[in-house]
Amino acid sequence: MNSRPIFPMDESYEEYIHDESQFSGSAQSISFPRSEEEICAVISEMREQQIPVTVQGGKTGIAGSGVPLGGHLMNVADCSRVLEYSETDGKYLLTVEPGLRLTELKQEMAKLGGPVHLFWPPEPTETSATVGGVAAAAASGICSYAYGGARQYFEAARVVLADGTVRDIRCGDHFLKVNGEQLDELDAFLGSEGMLGVFSALTLRLIPCPAEQWGIAFFFENRQDAWRFADELQSDPVRSEEAQVTAAEYIDGNSIRLVESKKELLTKLGSIPPIDPTFDAMIYLEIAGEEAGIESAAEILMERATQFGSDPDRAWAVSGEKEIESLRTFRHAVPETANLIVEENHRSNAEITKLSTDISFEGKSFTQIMNWYEECLKDLRPAHCIFGHIGENHLHCNLFPKNSSEQQQCEAWMSWMLQESAGLGGCVVTENGVGKLKRRWLPSDNALISRMRKLKEIYDPTNFWNPGNMF
Ligand SMILES: Cc1cc2nc3c(=O)[nH]c(=O)nc-3n(C[C@H](O)[C@H](O)[C@H](O)COP(=O)(O)OP(=O)(O)OC[C@H]3O[C@@H](n4cnc5c(N)ncnc54)[C@H](O)[C@@H]3O)c2cc1C
């Protein structure tokens, strides 16, 4: 068997012992396998020595789930070939190795050729993430408003298990009974944070690109007006045979000011005009479909936004992939800037880590949820910002403690907040995972944790994979 070197850990690998959350760990050794065969070789050696393995992809996770707590660290980002493409009965399937980054995936999809241009909807905004990381986090993309979450865009996976066997798992082929629930085996692995095995290949379901796409950013001087506009989008989504809203994102005034304050550090934002700091909220929408349908949808949205106090002359409206990419760059700059600030604060105090909610609330109005956030935040001193998906009220409230005492205060707030949100029917882990950072704040009766305990008994009873994630 072709084996890849396993290196003893030293300071030259320092960048691998933390992720974007600034949570830091340690490892005895590290490897960078470039194929399934090399993954198997590393696992076989670790199994013989009874050393647990933490799997890592692009290290863009924000819950510390790919950060090792001792043992061996296996970074699979170099295992990144495209393996197979097939097109049958209107199904477009692309099989890739897990380390393929989203930027590379995009280039590969453009090369597929043929009359139909294809894309993969569950792309998180961080494009250096890997396909394996997206599968393990069940991450979701900016267009989840129209296309839903990541799970439905995986057809199959190849997984290397702790005993060294390699399994092909296809959606709909095999079901498990876990805690009284019927669970598709593929679903069991998606979102499992690398705790059951390592993906060595993934088959993605691609879909045809819409004919046209527009992006519109609406600005509001009063955030409550933006919330009411979001309520209306939820109760009456602008959808027709010809076009639909595909992305609906909320960005609060604090987020806008945060990005403006760090703009000089984010070179990609060069072409974006400055935003008036008095704006209290922004709503970013994308509309996709046939041109005529998009035009009438945009008209309806413009009228509605005007009714809710947004000046249509100050809105940004663009069409075409390239221009939309620049507006998305602004949307992406929000979490990027939040992470940058956490990183800066972490440099002056190592206790400081990312503190961000990832809660979705189905069946509630946006205004109700935002009022609730504001009520929860009213006594918290450290700075914060809120942004995220309007669909299912899936918002990320980021906190920025600057010293140990503020960090402790914010951690206590997070713990309390997650309990409170569960009481309100919120799903407290939606796309960013639990990892090592959030496990201590999860309500003890959390269904995801209880399911994962059962799955660990089935697939990884010796706790070989990713020790310290979730529990
Ligand atoms: C600026 C910014 C914006 C972001 N925006 C979004 C967003 O819009 N939506 C969203 O959902 N997330 C977002 N994220 C979070 C992050 O990008 C995603 O969670 C992403 O899926 C992580 O992929 P990764 O390759 O970096 O994985 P890593 O961080 O390396 O690992 C994440 C998890 O995946 C596991 N893993 C990695 N590869 C494998 C494999 N081959 N087999 C088994 N397990 C594996 C790891 O063990 C770990 O548990 C954002 C992050 C940043 C920094």
Tens-digit pLDDT profile for residues 69-81: 999 999 999 999 9
From atom 8 of ligand 1, which residue's Cα is the shortest distance away?
A: 124
CA of 384 to the centre of ligand 1 (A): 23
* Closest protein CA for atom 18 of ligand 1: 61
121 lines ligand 1 (CB under 6 A): no
Q: Residue 3: its pLDDT value, please? A: 59
Q: Are residues 102 and 186 in the same domain?
A: yes
In short, whether 58's Cβ falls inside 6 Å of ligand 1 is yes
33: CATH: 3.30.43.10
Residues 43, 49, 51: CA angle, nearest 5 degrees: 70
DSSP string, 12-37: GGGGGGB-TT--B-B-SEEE---SHH
Residue 148 lies in a domain: yes
SS3 label, residue 192: coil
Ligand 1 atom with the shortest distance to the CA of 335 = 1
Q: Which token pair is 7?
A: 């290196």
Would you say residue 362 lies in a domain?
A: no
Q: Whose CA is nearest to atom 28 of ligand 1?
A: 59
Sheet with 243-252, edge to edge strand ranges: 316-319, 212-220, 281-289, 243-252, 383-389, 394-400
Going from the Cα of 352 to the center of ligand 1, the distance in angstroms, rounded, reads: 20
Distance CA(106)–CA(443), nearest Å, equals: 38
The mean of the pLDDT values for the chain is 94
Domain end residue (candidates: 335, 358, 383): 335
User: Who wins on pLDDT, 277 or 36?
Assistant: 36
Residues of the domain holding 255? 212-335
Token pair belonging to 46: 């670790």
- For ligand 1, whether the C-beta of 60 sits within 6 Å is yes
Q: Are residues 119 and 198 in the same domain?
A: yes
The C-alpha angle 444, 450, 454, rounded to 5 degrees, equals 150
Residue 271 pLDDT grade (very low, low, confident, very high; cuts 50, 70, 90): confident
Q: Would you say residue 397 lies in a domain?
A: no
Q: Are residues 173 and 232 in the same domain?
A: no
Amino acid of residue 436: K
Residue 43 lies in a domain: yes
Query: 250 - beta bridge partners?
Result: 283, 388
Asked if residue 59 has its Cβ within 6 Å of ligand 1, the reply is: yes
Give tens-digit pLDDT for 367-403.
Answer: 999 999 999 999 999 999 999 999 999 999 999 999 9
Same domain? For 105 and 185 the reply is: yes
Say whether both 184 and 288 belong to one domain.
no
What secondary structure, in 3-state letters, does 36-104 show?
A: HHHHHHHHHHHHHHCCCEEEECCCCCCCCCCCCECCEEEECCCCCCEEEEEEECCEEEEEECCCCEHHH
Residues in the chain: 471
Contact 279, 220 (CB under 8 A): yes
User: What is the residue with the minimal CA distance to atom 2 of ligand 1?
Assistant: 126
Is the domain of 105 the same as that of 157? yes
Count how many domains the chain has: 3
Rounded percentage of the chain residues whose pLDDT exceeds 90: 87
Name the helix (H) or strand (E) containing 292: helix 291-307
Residue nearest to atom 15 of ligand 1 (CA): 61
Chain segment 235-253, per-residue pLDDT in tens: 999 999 999 999 999 999 9
Residue 35 · residue 56 · CB < 8 Å: no
**Cα 438 to middle of ligand 1, angstroms:** 15
| pLDDT recorded at residue 4 | 64
End-to-end CA distance of the chain: 35
**189 in contact with ligand 1, CB cutoff 6 A:** no
Distance, CA 20 to ligand 1 centroid (Å)? 9
User: Residue 9 pLDDT more than 90?
Assistant: yes
Do 18 and 41 have their domain in common?
yes
- Name the residue at shortest CA distance from atom 50 of ligand 1: 126
Which residue's CA is the nearest one to ligand 1's atom 9?
124
- Pick the last residue of a domain from 171, 191, 208: 208
Residue nearest (by alpha carbon) to ligand 1 atom 7: 124
44: number of Cβ within 10 Å? 15
Write the residue with the smallest CA distance to atom 21 of ligand 1. 134
Judge if 87 and 165 occupy the same domain.
yes
Q: Does the CB atom of residue 200 touch ligand 1 within 6 A? A: no
Report the pLDDT value the prediction gives residue 145, as an integer from 0 to 100. Answer: 92
Q: Is the CB of 64 under 6 A from ligand 1?
A: no
Give yes or no for residue 339 CB within 6 A of ligand 1: yes
Q: How far apart are CA 401 and CA 412, in angstroms?
A: 12
Last residue within a domain, chosen from 335, 351, 378? 335
Question: For residue 184, what are the β-bridge partners?
Answer: 175
Q: Are residues 220 and 258 in the same domain?
A: yes
Q: Choose the weakest-confidence range: 5-14, 321-330, 404-413, 461-470.
A: 321-330
Distance from the alpha carbon of residue 5 to the mean position of ligand 1, in angstroms: 25
pLDDT at 1: 44
Considering the domain architecture, whether residues 231 and 324 belong to the same structural domain is answered as yes
Judge whether residue 452 has pLDDT over 60: yes
Mean pLDDT of all residues in 82-104: 96
Asked whether residue 261 falls in the same domain as residue 311, the answer is yes
- Is the backbone of residue 130 left (phi > 0), alpha (psi -120 to 50) or beta? beta
Pocket test for ligand 1, best of 60, 75, 96, 140 (most atoms within 8 A of CB): 60
Ligand 1 midpoint to CA 131 (Å): 9
Does residue 401 lie in a domain region? no
The CB of 137 under 6 Å from ligand 1? The reply is yes
Amino acid (one-letter) located at 31: S
d(CA 21, CA 432): 11
Residue 465 lies in a domain: no
In short, whether 432's Cβ falls inside 6 Å of ligand 1 is yes
Please indicate, yes or no, if residue 37 is contained in any of the structural domains.
yes
Instruction: Report the pLDDT value the prediction gives residue 124, as an integer from 0 to 100.
Output: 82
Residues 72 and 139 in one domain: no
pLDDT at 161 over 90: yes
What are the respective helix, strand and coil percentages of the chain, to the nearest 5? Answer: 40, 25, 35
Amino acid (1-letter code) at residue 203: T
At residue 181, the 3 state secondary structure works out as strand
160 or 431, greater pLDDT: 160
Cα gap 78→36, rounded to integer Å: 11
C-alpha distances in Å from residue 69, one per residue of 16, 54, 59, 429: 12, 8, 15, 22
Whether 367 is covered by a domain: the verdict is no
Distance, CA 68 to ligand 1 centroid (Å)?
A: 15
Choosing from 34, 56, 339 the residue with most ligand 1 atoms within 8 A of its CB, the one to mutate for a pocket test is 56
- Return the bridge partners of 282, or none: 219, 251
114-156, pLDDT tens digit by residue? Answer: 788 999 998 788 999 999 999 999 998 899 999 998 899 999 9
Does the CB atom of residue 382 touch ligand 1 within 6 A? no
